[in-house]
Amino acid sequence: MKKIISLIALLILAVGGYFGWQYYTQTYQGHPAYAVIPNQVPKREATVDDNGKKVADSYSYSYKLHFVRTDGKTETLPYEVMGSDPKPFTPNATVKAEISDKRVVKGPNYVSKDKVPDAVKDKLNQK
């Protein structure tokens, strides 16, 4: 009986570990990607939390950035610049970020166009 319970516990642990690893890699494991900031600066709005309530003395600019990863995949992800006096991104600037399948993990930070790999440049220019 102990062997069966141990086997079931081990199986549950293995399945839980597998799905936990999948979640981690899809959510937090970043890949380098580049995007061009849109021409239009979004409207400055009061920041709203997950419950729909306004955050006191906080404003934000909401972007939808079209990223091109260094492996050639393209992804569109939302990104907000927020704070008490946020500065919007410079239109038509190129940025680099670490992105996962679900979110921007690190960045985005400005990068000069000559630092962008040629294969990524071609895909960015198509947008």
Tell whether 89 is covered by a domain. Answer: yes
Alpha helices, H only, the chain:
2-27, 118-126
Instruction: Tell me the CATH number at 108.
Output: 2.40.50.480
Q: In which band, very low, low, confident or very high, does the pLDDT at 127 lie, cut at 50, 70 and 90?
A: low
Average pLDDT value for residue range 41-52: 92
Nearest CA to 67 among 37, 29, 23?
Answer: 37
User: Which of 99, 113, 101 has the alpha carbon at shortest distance from 37?
Assistant: 113
pTM, whole model, 2 decimals?
Answer: 0.84
> Would 112 be classed as within a structural domain?
yes
- Could you write out the DSSP letters of every residue in 82-111? EESS--PPPTT-EEEEEE-SSSEEEEEEE-
In tens, the pLDDT along 8-24 reads: 999 999 999 999 999 99
The verdict on residue 14 lying in a domain is: no
Contact in structure between 97 and 25 (CB atoms under 8 Å): no
